[in-house]
Structure 1
Amino acid sequence: MSSSDKSVGLIEKSGLDLRRSKSLFLIAIILISCIPLLSKVMYWGYDLEFHLFRIQGIADGLRHGQFPVRMQYSQGGGYGYPVSIMYGDWLLYIPALMHIAGLSLSLSYRFALILLNAASVVLTYYVCRRVFQSDLIGICGSVLWNLSLYRIMDIYKRAAVGEYVAMAFFPMVLFGLWSCLHPDRNGASRQGWIWCALGLTGIVTSHTLSIFMLGLVMIPILLYSLVFRSSVYIWVQFVKTAFLTFGLSLSFLVPFISYSRSANLAVYALPTDFKIKRMADHSVEPGRFLELFGAMFRPDAEASPSLGGIPISVGWAILTGVFIWAVVCFCFESRAGEDCLIDRGKKWETVPVLLSALIALFLASSLVPWHSKPLEKMISALSSVQFPWRFISLAVFFMIILGLCGLSMLYSQTDLKSVGRKAIVGITLLACLEGGYALGFFMENTNKFSPHSNQENTFVIESIMNGEYLPKGTNIFEVYPNKVVNHEPDVKMAELKNFSLNQGYATGSVKTHAEPGEVILPLFSYPNYAIDCQPSTNCSLSSTGGGTNFLVARFPENFDGKFDLNYRIPKLWRMADGVSLATWIMIIVWICIRRFRDSPVSRGIRIRHRR
């Protein structure tokens, strides 16, 4: 009998319920990760108010019959802001529906975040348990990932909703890719391509920058897969993954690409020199990756504007895991007449993971020659990430995988099982201490969140942050003089009566005389607005240009009638919605059929049918 069988036998004799104990451990991890959410007050985060406006915008759009919500009118004083087009927000419908049901914005946000933390903890545990065939390593992996300093900072200090939602799908991509590459191993899923596609879809529709970073950092893993593991089966799995991801994400990708090409947004007009300087200013000195017990606090006037109050350490628990992996791989040698500690093939399988982690750390660091002229084109493409320390999330993820590989190799050996168990428990406790300290320091030293009063005629800059998705050239000081929002149209060479504007839908009666007239509407000039006039004439839409970029409705001479103006979803977008919906339905039905076929009930039916 193996030592693991003996351990299981002893546990069973002791009367310990393994399932309940695992559930308690997972609940404990969830509670630790949610400590700041269990207070009456809400703690301040850099982007928190912006994302609360996004949730409010989705709720308002749904109330007015817009689904899916594309153009939001809660931001920018009601002038319209295409944040739902440029920023995936499927999971934000959960807090939006809670808000519609009667919860406050802050409570809706916190409940949704608790659900996300719980899902991330359980999913990470499930994936690690399947990959490494150990409940103990599954719990350790869930602690390392969900209580990692960068993830905690992303959730609470930065309140970077898109980024931390995307991070929740990283384990799903890992499990899908591993199952595709090693379908014969214990724990692998026969539907690895579905896992991978669902994970990639979650990332694409939450934070497009994360999918770009993931693809860049995973180059060594992909090269290894296609060169050393290449087969018809793997190519088929990759093709199926690509098609399924495309189909599931089409509802977001088509509007996003359409606006990226035609809307002439400010984000695409930023000077290259500015973007490169921003990357250089926010790069991390390599020594800071090794800090112990990172602290989160609100930076004062003298603190670094780029990294003040942000813990950018990898974390000593994760570093300890990587150290154990290195010791296991490179310090243990086979002895005469005895087996190696690890299989040589498994040892080399971890090298691409190491390279991916090193690439992520390098790209986050100040070692990158950001101002190099020969590399200017490459650096310019990389600068779309905005802040290089975003790569720390990927470095942490791949370093956790390395550490778990080392712990699994150690734990799987009979003679070293006790040492491996102690190492796993020690690293788990250290990760809890690091995460708990960061959360406690954050709560003690961060201001309580006080949202701006949502007054109808007051502009709140946090609603649009840096205004990346405003029309190019828009000057907010011209649009909102003294932060005052003007909801009245500017009428020229015409008479306007019975005007109303609500959620982008404008109506009114216009009368012109011998010359054409125009009505400058309090809406930003984005594509897809359309106007209908009665009687039907040559009414048209244009933009004021300059620093305001308001929408202008033009009417011909001697016009006397009504107009209706609204934001209309293009047919191509509706077709993309239909394709994505059909893909989701087909994959859900297919999974249900497969699970039924593998169920004991289905096997019993087939046996009776043969008889």
Structure 2
Amino acid sequence: MGVTIYLFNAYHFELLYARTAIGELLAYTFLPLVLLGCLKIWNNSKANGWWWIALGMASIANSHLLSLLMVTILLGGAEVYRWYQRKVDKAELLGFLKAGAVSLIAASYSLGNIIYLSLNNQLTLPFKNLITIDLTQVNQSILTNKFVEMAGSWNLGLPVSILFGYLMIQWLRQAQNVKIKEWTAWLKAAVISVVVTLNWWPLEKLATTPLGTIQFLGRLLCLTALFLMVAVVVYCNQQPFKKRIYWMIMILTGALALSSLFEFNQSMTPVPAGDGHQIVTPSTYLSTIEAGSYLPEYHPKTLQGKDALISNDKVKISAIKTIGNQGEYLVVSSKPKRVVDLPFAKYKGISYQFQLNGKVVHSQSNTHLKVKLSKKTNRLIVSSKAPQFDYWLILISIVAYVMMVVGLWQSRDSKNRLNGDIVI
């Protein structure tokens, strides 16, 4: 049941098919590993809980920085809450510290490069915003069993929303029952994570603050799905149903979710260029930049503070071939002997080599490729070389991952399993 809810919810499909946000999708995939480690530690199964947290956090760090920030804040808040309840002991604190240290080592390649480029360049940071969820749009999406890319309508989908509502009803019906506290705690967390995303609050005033880094409050639905998954699992453990009922619910949930996916696929239409959705290919690369149909995130800035990835309408560029860290392009200019700005970002701290018509040339700009073309039709080869420390960082990251897998294998124990009482 838990896996069905986590996989077959509309927000998951939104990431996978509507937005194709691969980084967020990978972070969504690894999030349960962090939760598993926390539950093991919180339930006194300290043998390998911290290994799971380290593996999950490292994988999230290597996938999506914003998800890493969200999960880190969530874990910090959970530990503060447990400390307030006097539930934190030295073993638990040590476990989280070890998990943090190992995860940082395993993510050193990704984090190290981000820090290195940030220190050596003035980068264009992601835009800030706080786009909330509109219940009117959500209700329409849920009732029609459809999902779209519009951030204001993100939701968990019809089948999962029905299960959510069922648990809410059971919570109200059994409010006086002490036993339900074990699953209602997770349900309350799910409810809170939904309520804070709604447009009931004047959050747009905070869009320019660091909180605006989240951009879409609907991203918190990944936490909603996680909390709801645990709530359903604990509820089913306490009030077991017949297996055929479980199967009926899972099959119905999967069928409705796949039906919405089929509808989404059937309703897809070509997206017009210039609205931020044009597919970038070697043939559309230049036109995409000229139309401004991209988000210049983490591109180097010019001395004037503008995005360095600019185009030049005097030239046409087409890719011949790209292999690894090298690309070969055909650059056609209306006139020869002209200095042009080409849309190739150039980061300080990275070694580049540019060959124009077989001769090595140097860029006249520190932030992008600016060269003098020798004739109308030119063959350009662009290559880069990673810093030496990159090889050490990738080696360290690989060794750390191997260490985590070995640690999990060695600490496996049939007795080291969670019981039905999953509490914070």
**TM-score of the superposed pair, with normalisation by structure 1:** 0.52
Q: How does 1:503-514 map to 2 (within 5 A)?
A: 503=325
Pair 1:587–1:446, CA change in 2 (3 A): same
Q: Which residue of 2 aligns with 1:148?
A: 9
Q: Does 1:567 align with 2:384?
A: yes
2:125 alignment partner, SS class: helix
2:299 alignment partner, SS class: coil
Shift of 1:211: 1.8
CA distance in 2, matches of 1:525, 1:235: 43
Counterpart amino acid of 1:550? H
Q: How does 1:332-351 map to 2 (within 5 A)?
A: 332=174, 343=179, 347=181, 350-351=184-185
Pair 1:453–1:235, CA change in 2 (3 A): closer
Shift of 1:265: 1.6
Identity in percent = 18
Larger RCO, structure (CA 8 Å, separation 6 or more): 2
Shift of 1:584: 2.3
Counterpart amino acid of 1:332? Q
Q: Which residue of 1 aligns with 2:95?
A: 237
Q: Does 1:481 align with 2:302?
A: no
Q: How does 1:171-210 map to 2 (within 5 A)?
A: 171-183=32-44, 190-210=47-67
Counterpart amino acid of 1:179? K
Alignment partner of 1:295 out of 146, 158, 164: 146
Asked if structure 2 preserves the Cα contact closer than 8 Å seen for 1:459 and 1:480, the reply is no
Pair 1:482–1:355, CA change in 2 (3 A): farther
CA distance in 2, matches of 1:502, 1:323: 50
Counterpart amino acid of 2:384? Y
Alignment partner of 2:225 out of 389, 396, 414: 396
Q: How does 1:424-443 map to 2 (within 5 A)?
A: 424-425=246-247, 427-443=249-265
CA distance in 2, matches of 1:321, 1:425: 14
Deviations 1:304-354 (A, max 9, x none): x755xxx623334333434444455553388xxxxxx763xx715742x34
Larger radius of gyration: 1
Q: Does 1:529 align with 2:350?
A: yes
Q: Does 1:367 align with 2:200?
A: yes
Pair 1:482–1:452, CA change in 2 (3 A): farther
Counterpart amino acid of 2:214? V
Q: Does 1:312 align with 2:154?
A: yes
Pair 1:432–1:566, CA change in 2 (3 A): closer
Unaligned runs of 5+ in 2: 272-277, 329-338, 354-360, 373-380, 415-424
Q: Which residue of 1 aligns with 2:210?
A: 381
Deviations 1:359-389 (A, max 9, x none): 43234221232343xxx4x861121122222
Asked if structure 2 preserves the Cα contact closer than 8 Å seen for 1:326 and 1:406, the reply is no
Q: Which residue of 1 aligns with 2:133?
A: 284
Pair 1:456–1:433, CA change in 2 (3 A): closer
Alignment partner of 2:112 out of 228, 238, 254: 254
Which structure: greater helix fraction? 1
Q: Which residue of 1 aligns with 2:23?
A: 162
Q: How does 1:43-82 map to 2 (within 5 A)?
A: none
Asked if structure 2 preserves the Cα contact closer than 8 Å seen for 1:150 and 1:312, the reply is yes
Counterpart amino acid of 1:238? F
Counterpart amino acid of 2:201? V
2:317 alignment partner, SS class: coil
Alignment partner of 1:467 out of 288, 296, 314: 296
Asked if structure 1 preserves the Cα contact closer than 8 Å seen for 2:5 and 2:225, the reply is no
1:169 alignment partner, SS class: helix
Counterpart amino acid of 2:161? L
Shift of 1:543: 5.5
Counterpart amino acid of 1:444? Q
Q: Which residue of 1 aligns with 2:269?
A: 447
CA distance in 2, matches of 1:457, 1:170: 34
Q: Which residue of 1 aligns with 2:393?
A: 576
